[in-house]
Structure 1
Amino acid sequence: MNELITLGILAFTSFFTLINPLGVMPIFMTMSADLTPQDRARTAKKASLVGFIIIVAFALSGQLLFKFFGISVNSFRIVGGVIFFIMGMDMLQARLTKVKLKDSEVKKYVNDISITPMAIPMIAGPGAITNAIVLMEDAGGMVGAAVLIAALALVVLLTYFILLSSSRIIKALGETGNNVLMRLMGLIVMVIAVEFFFSGLKPILIDIMH
């Protein structure tokens, strides 16, 4: 019983740190600033659900898939870094909030950002996926796996509610404040992108040299 409690606490704290819903929120705010509260809520819900499904899928079959396709987590980090960098560049130039959507385009836009970059790689990023695979290996059976998935579900639920609260923050900041925040977050996201890219590239280069 103590081992399951320890696993649950470890899973919750590690997933909360790696998913970092408080860090995801400003990016979600800037990308959904022109959406209605209903569309913003729908985007948050879909992103959270898709992110949860992806992490669980990798937790259950990650080792098998990685071996089958010859994919490494480091390659995943490099791709995530490229996506982050492009997104950060757009945010730095305040492009994201300048997108004015027609009613017919809203549904497509919601679907686009809820999958990429919100679900992948913001929620279901390389860190969270790797963590899920490693912890699932250590779960030691069905009960441990259930505890792990329950802890992940709690983190994703918290992420969903944090994203929902972003609408109030957008209203409080106004357009100028939102643009300033977006540029600041753009710099941070680009720094994260560089860290992701080189943390994935370094082990690959070391393997090549050896």
Structure 2
Amino acid sequence: MTELFLSAFVTMFVVIDPLGCAPIYASLSHGANDLQRRSMAIRAVFIATAILLVFALWGKQLLGVLGIDLNSFRIAGGIMLFLIAMDMVFEKRTQRREDRAQKIVDTPEVEDVSVFPMAMPMIAGPGSIATVMLMMSRADGTMQRIVVLAAMAAVLLLMLISLLAAGPIMKLLGQKIEAVITRLLGVLLAALAAQFVIDGLKASF
């Protein structure tokens, strides 16, 4: 159970990336007072949690309705995570997030950033949705599913803490340290993604 929790936690932490979202949120919420920042952070994490929970609990049934085999989803999800990992290693993911954030900042009529872009697609994006469904598909029995959900809850709690402390975190880490951490996590995610593909191919053939 401990191994499953750590595997699910590390995978979701790398994909959801609380530390990477913190500087984006800091720039998006620039100009808001402390109360507004807190309320937007809480709302963003709450909405993202609801989205991920829906796919975690009923994603398998959704695949069944669409006629998609679970092993096919494992392979496709693994490839998707591998592409995310490559973006992290070469810092393309960070650049895209910053570009998206700048577009929001340049649009003065958009004030509340909790739903878009924070809740979706930054927290509950395609990568995190696929990851949650993959981890739940690997869980065998109710107890293991609860462990995966606990790992997801832990990552989302860290996300909330990161958003609430976005300003101080940025001052503490700095851009260079954040870039190093992102690249290291990208390498780790690439290995986990490869394992998803291998598991899917083994089960299929």
When normalised by structure 2's length, the TM-score is 0.62
User: After the TM superposition, which residues 20-169 of structure 1 pair with which residues of structure 2 at under 5 Å, given as runs?
Assistant: 20=13, 24-36=17-29, 41=38, 44-69=41-66, 70=68, 71-86=72-87, 88=89, 89-90=91-92, 96=98, 99=102, 101-102=105-106, 103-104=108-109, 107=112, 111-120=116-125, 124=129, 126=131, 128-133=132-137, 135=139, 138-139=141-142, 151=150, 155=154, 158-163=157-162, 164-169=164-169
Compute the displacement of 1:79 (Å): 1.5
Letter in 2 for 1:49: F
Structure 1 residues 156 and 50: CA distance shift in structure 2, 3 A: farther
1:202 aligns with 2:198: yes
Counterparts of 2:137 and 2:165 in 1: how far apart (Å)? 30
Compute the displacement of 1:111 (Å): 0.9
- Greater Rg, structure 1 or structure 2? 1
Asked whether the 8 Å contact 1:92–1:187 carries over to 2, the reply is no
Asked whether the 8 Å contact 1:60–1:133 carries over to 2, the reply is no
> Alignment length, in residue pairs?
191
Structure 1: which 5+ residue stretches go unaligned? 1-6
Structure 1 residues 52 and 93: CA distance shift in structure 2, 3 A: closer
1:188 aligns with 2:184: yes
Asked whether the 8 Å contact 2:4–2:147 carries over to 1, the reply is yes
Compute the displacement of 1:82 (Å): 1.9
Asked whether the 8 Å contact 1:74–1:201 carries over to 2, the reply is yes
Structure 2: which 5+ residue stretches go unaligned? none
CA offset digits 1:6-46 (Å, max 9, x no partner): x9x9997675454338x833211232242336675456434
Counterparts of 1:56 and 1:48 in 2: how far apart (Å)? 12
Compute the displacement of 1:167 (Å): 2.7
Letter in 2 for 1:167: G
Asked whether the 8 Å contact 1:29–1:166 carries over to 2, the reply is yes
Counterparts of 1:47 and 1:193 in 2: how far apart (Å)? 24
Counterparts of 1:99 and 1:84 in 2: how far apart (Å)? 23
When normalised by structure 1's length, the TM-score is 0.61
Letter in 2 for 1:183: A
Coordinate RMSD, CA, aligned: 4.4
Letter in 1 for 2:179: R
Compute the displacement of 1:149 (Å): 9.6
Counterparts of 1:53 and 1:95 in 2: how far apart (Å)? 22
Asked whether the 8 Å contact 1:90–1:186 carries over to 2, the reply is no
Letter in 1 for 2:82: G
